[in-house]
Amino acid sequence: MKIPGDNLGNATPNPQRGSANGNITGGIDAIGQLANIGADLAGQVVKNQRALDVAQATTEASMELENYVYDIKNNDRDYGTQFDRYTQFSTDLDKRYKDRFKSDPAGYSVFRTNLGELAFKKGFDVRSHSIGGQIDQQKGQLDRNMATMSELAIQGDDEQREIVKTKGQLLLQEAYDNGVVNGVERVNLEQKFQDDMVSGQVRKDILDNPDMAATNLLEGKYQGLSGEQQMIWLEKANSRSEAKQRALIAEQDRDRREQDRLEKDAANNMAKAGDKLLFSGGLTADWLEENRDTLDEQDYRYFYKAMATGSESYTDTGIYSDLRFRASNGEDVRLDARAALRRNQLKLADYDKLMNRSEKNSGVGELPSWFKRGEDFLKNTFAVSDINPDPADSQRRAVVLDEWNQWANENKNPSMEEANKAFREIAQSYALVDSSDMLVLKPLPKFSVGGRQKMDIEG
């Protein structure tokens, strides 16, 4: 029986043949099979490495592409060039990785297919984003253009408003034709444009002339306003009119007060000049007539009377003492002092003393602490009883305060020690009894030191 494949020299054992020849033939076949297996393994290793390289390169390139697209969508406002720049980036990316696969064209072919699919997909996203961004920009520009048109319409007359209205409608039509806005958006924008023009005109009229605007609203001269809108604008017009009236009244009041103040200051200054002329004997009728418009009417009569009767003869000590004490308490007694002078109840010299002290109250800033301390000390030292006031005590207090004021005028910036010494010496000079020489006949007080002639309190 013949075995299949025997004539092809297969390795089937045959006991009738020599064993040496059979073993050699079988060994050659086995080596060939091992070589084929090795070649297959080597090819598989190459394929596996290529797959790894392609996968890694695809991942890296995909990340670069993703990052670039993310940056475009989130940080880039140049929508018009986005897609072209994306296309260039993808091309440059492909070139860089082609160099990387220079020794493996087959691997590059697979990588390029993968990258192309991803770049194509992302390209749609970038293109859509670019177009959307450009439309948004165009819509924004359209809104700004329409707002500008509204402002121009507000500033112009009726004819100019019609021209601007026509231009605005043409802008909206062009935007609709170019796909920037759809039909609904176009209608809404046109309505807004009309409302803005009317509202802007009403607002401008209210600011310029609220009364006229209120009349126009009542007569329905602003086309396109609903009844509710007319009532809202009418309320604003009335509020504006009332505010303007209040502002006008306040301004007139301020102007009147300022004018009164200026006239009062001028009259006071002129009265002071007249006082000096009267005191020096240089006051004349010509001077009075020349300055009659500036002088207070009462001062005018007072000066004529003083020239006719001579200088004032006396000072009412009660009036002077009261005015002097009030001035020391911070009151402005200049008007009352002037009135007393006109009534011939003050000598001009005493009037000047009151004016000098009272002007300190109306000066800039507070009185010096040393001055207030001395004045308070003298007022307390020479206090007058409220229950049974003695006119002589009031007069003495006024004289003491005048002397302190005169010392302060002559010593502009004394030390506290110098001021203390001065007001204590003034008090001592007007005291009815010298406290340093007082004789105490009653038992000495507790804690007293020294004798009866020179008593002091233990420190």
Domain ranges of the chain: 29-195, 312-457
- The top-scoring range by mean pLDDT among 127-131, 407-411, 426-430 is 407-411
Handedness of CA 426, 431, 435, 437 (dihedral sign): positive
Distance between CA atoms of residues 182 and 420, nearest Å:
92
pLDDT, tens digit, 9 for 90 and up, residues 209-220: 899 888 988 888
Neighbouring CB atoms inside 10 A of 237's CB total 25
- pLDDT at position 395, please? 86
Instruction: Judge contact between 142 and 178, C-beta under 8 A.
Output: no
For residues 313-329, give the mean pLDDT. 87
Q: What is the pLDDT of residue 424?
A: 92
Residue 153 has pLDDT above 60, yes or no: yes
pLDDT score of 440 more than 50 = no
Greater confidence (349 vs 441) lies with 349
Q: What is the mean pLDDT of residues 239-244?
A: 90
pLDDT value of position 430: 82
Residue 444 has pLDDT above 80, yes or no: no
CA distance 349 to 315: 10
Averaged pLDDT, 234-256? 91
The pLDDT score that the predictor gives to residue 459 is: 46
Handedness of CA 270, 272, 273, 275 (dihedral sign): positive
Please say if the pLDDT value at position 455 is more than 60.
no
Q: Are 12 and 6 in contact (CB under 8 A)?
A: yes
Contact 126, 82 (CB under 8 A): yes
Task: Indicate if the pLDDT at residue 97 is higher than 80.
Answer: yes
pLDDT for 254 equals: 92
Please return the burial class of 62, using the count of CB atoms within 10 Å of its CB with bins 0-12, 13-18 and 19+.
Answer: middle
Whether residue 70 has pLDDT greater than 80: yes
pLDDT of residue 246: 92
- CB count within 10 Å of CB 124 equals 10
Query: Band of the pLDDT at 314, cuts 50, 70, 90?
Result: confident
pLDDT classification of 253: cutoffs 50, 70, 90: very high
Across the range 140-148, mean pLDDT stands at 81
Q: Is the predicted pLDDT of residue 332 greater than 50, yes or no?
A: yes
Average pLDDT over residues 305-311: 71
Q: Is the pLDDT of residue 21 over 70?
A: no
pLDDT of residue 141: 80
With beta carbons less than 8 A apart as the criterion, state whether 404 and 426 touch. yes
**Comparison of pLDDT for 435 and 47, the residue scoring more:** 47
pLDDT per position as a tens digit, 341-370? 888 888 888 888 888 888 887 765 678 899
Q: What's the average model confidence in pLDDT over 20-34? A: 58
Predicted model pTM: 0.41
Mean pLDDT score, 433-457: 51
Confidence grade of residue 2 (pLDDT, cut at 50, 70, 90): very low
Instruction: Please tell me the distance from the alpha carbon of residue 169 to that of residue 186, in angstroms, as a whole number.
Output: 9
Q: Across the chain, which distance is largest between two alpha carbons, in Å?
A: 184
Question: In 10 A of CB 361, how many CB atoms?
Answer: 16
Mean pLDDT, all residues of the chain: 80
Between residues 152 and 66, which one has the greater pLDDT? 66
